Amino acid sequence: MKKIRSKFWAIALCVIAAIQIAVVSCSDDPGVDSYYTSSRKYAADYLKGDAKFSEYIKILERATGEYDLRLVDMLGTYGHYTVFAPTNDAVEKYLMGRGLSSVDELSKEDCDTIALNSIIEMAYFTTDISDGEYPKSNMLEHVVSVEAVQEWDEASQDSVVSLYINQNARMIHADDSVANGVVHTMSDIVNASHELIGTIIMNNPACSRYAEALTVTGIMDLIQQNYIDDTYGWATDQDRIDSCTWTNNKLCIPTAKYADGSGGEYDNVAYPVKRYFNYTVFICPDSILEDRYGITTLEDLEAKAHEIYDPFYPEDANVTDRKDPRNALYKFMAYHVLDRWGSYWGLTCYDGDASQYKLSHNFNREAYDICDWYPTLLPHSIMKFSYPYGSRAGSGNRSGGLWINRRGVMNGPDSRGGWAPGVRVARPNEHKMRQQGINGIYHYVDGILAYDETMRNIVCDDCIRVDGTTLSPDFMTKMTDGEVARGHSQDGQVYGTSYNTSTASANKNRSIGFKPGYARNFTLSAQTHMHVRARTLNFWSYEADEMIFKGRYDFTIKLPPVPQGTYEVRMMTCVGFDTRGIVQYYLGSDPDHMIPQGIPFDMRGNGESLFGFKDDKSFNNDQDAIQAFDNAIHNIQWMKGPNCYASGVRDEWSNDATTFRNQNNTIRRVIGTFTTDGKTDQYLRIQQKMESDNNELNLDFLEICPRSVYNNEYYPEPIL
DSSP assigned state of 96 = H
pLDDT at position 434 is 78
- Under the banding of pLDDT at 50, 70 and 90, the label for residue 285 is very high
Task: Specify the range with the lowest mean pLDDT, choosing from 69-73, 692-696, 707-711.
Answer: 69-73
Task: Work out the average pLDDT over 91-111.
Answer: 93
Q: Classify strands 440-444 and 119-120 as parallel, antiparallel or unpaired.
A: unpaired
Instruction: Band the pLDDT of 135: cuts 50, 70, 90.
Output: confident
pLDDT band at 8 (very low <50, low <70, confident <90, very high): very low
With 80 as the cut, is the pLDDT of residue 465 above it?
yes
Region of poorest pLDDT, from 280-284, 435-439, 656-660, 666-670: 435-439
| 434 vs 119, more confident | 119
Distance CA 544, CA 354 (A): 15
pLDDT of residue 399: 61
Question: Does residue 104 surpass a pLDDT of 80?
Answer: yes
Higher-confidence residue: 610 or 714? 610
Confidence band for 414, pLDDT divided at 50, 70 and 90: very high
Q: Which residue has the higher pLDDT, 112 or 154?
A: 112
How far apart CA 689 and CA 178 sit, in angstroms, is 54
* Strands annotated E in 276-320: 279-283
Contact 700, 597 (CB under 8 A): no
The pLDDT value recorded for residue 27 is 32
DSSP 354: -
| Residue 4 reports pLDDT greater than 50 | no
The domain ranges of the chain are 2-186, 193-230+275-462, 463-497+509-710
**DSSP output for 427-476:** PGGG--S--EETTEEEEEBSS-----HHIIIIITSS-EEEEGGGSSGGGG
d(CA 321, CA 216): 10
Query: 463-497+509-710 in CATH: which number?
Result: 2.60.120.260
Q: What is the mean pLDDT of residues 193-212?
A: 93
For position 226, what pLDDT does the model report? 79
CA distance 139 to 146: 16
What's the pLDDT score for residue 89? 96
For 270, the enclosing helix (H) or strand (E) is strand 265-270
pLDDT at 36: 46
Mean pLDDT, residues 573-594: 97
* 392 band by pLDDT with thresholds 50, 70 and 90: low
Q: Which among 573, 690, 558, 564 is positioned nearest to 638, based on CA atoms?
A: 573
pLDDT at 481: 85
Q: Are 482 and 141 in contact (CB under 8 A)?
A: yes
Average pLDDT over residues 107-132: 89
Give the pLDDT of residue 134: 86
Please tell me which residue, 28 or 298, carries the higher pLDDT value. Answer: 298
The whole-number pLDDT of residue 127 equals: 84
From CA 169, how far away is CA 324, in angstroms rounded?
43
Residue 397: pLDDT over 60: no
pLDDT at 14 over 50: no
Q: Is the pLDDT of residue 665 over 90?
A: yes
Fold agreement (193-230+275-462, 463-497+509-710): no
Give the span between the Cα atoms of 471 and 521, in whole angstroms: 7
- The type of residue at 364 is N
pTM listed for this prediction:
0.88
Regarding the domain delimited by 193-230+275-462, which CATH topology (the fold level of the hierarchy) does it fall under?
FAS1 domain (2.30.180)
Does residue 706 have a pLDDT over 70? yes
What gap in Å lies between CA 8 and CA 4, rounded to an integer? Answer: 10
pLDDT at position 539 over 60 = yes
* pLDDT of 22 above 70: no
pLDDT-above-90 percentage for the chain: 75
**Which residues, including other chains, have CB under 8 Å from residue 266's CB and lie 6 or more apart?**
252, 253, 254, 255, 499, 500, 501, 502, 507, 509
Beta bridge partners of 585: 597, 686
Mean pLDDT over the full length of the chain? 90
Question: Which CATH number is 2-186 given?
Answer: 2.30.180.10
In the prediction, which pLDDT does 21 show? Answer: 34
**Tens digits of per-residue pLDDT, 344-388?**
999 999 988 766 789 999 999 999 999 999 999 999 999 999 999
At 10 the pLDDT is 33
Contact 547, 698 (CB under 8 A): yes
If one compares 667 and 4, the residue with the highest pLDDT of the two is 667
Query: Parallel, antiparallel, or unpaired: how do β-strands 265-270 and 510-513 relate?
Result: parallel
Share of the chain above pLDDT 70, in %: 92
> What's the pLDDT at 391?
65
- Cα separation, 404 vs 400, in Å, equals 12
Please, what is the Cα angle at 543 between 639 and 676, to 5 degrees? 55
C-alpha to C-alpha distance for 87 and 90, rounded to whole angstroms: 5
Distance CA 594, CA 607 (A): 28
Instruction: Using alpha carbons only, give the angle 708, 710, 714 rounded to the nearest 5 degrees.
Output: 65
DSSP 583-610: EEEEEESSTTS-EEEEEEEETTS-HHHH
Q: Which three-class secondary structure state does DSSP give residue 634? A: helix
pLDDT at residue 35, as a whole number: 39
| H or E stretch covering 627 | helix 623-635
Q: Which of 313, 343, 338, 341 is nearest to 328 (CA)?
A: 313
24 pLDDT higher than 70: no
**Strand-pair partners of 267:** 253
3-state secondary structure of 436: strand
User: What pLDDT does residue 270 have?
Assistant: 95
Residue 407 β-bridge partners:
420
The residue-averaged pLDDT of 293-315 equals 98
pLDDT tens for 34-75 read: 334 545 799 999 999 999 999 999 999 999 877 677 889 999
Q: Is the pLDDT of residue 618 over 80?
A: yes
State the pLDDT at residue 237.
Answer: 87
Largest CA distance in the chain: 84
Q: Is the pLDDT of residue 117 over 90?
A: yes
Q: DSSP state, 122? A: S
- Mean pLDDT throughout 646-670? 95
Q: Collapse the DSSP code of 21 into the 3-class scheme (helix H, G, I; strand E, B; otherwise coil) and give the result.
A: coil
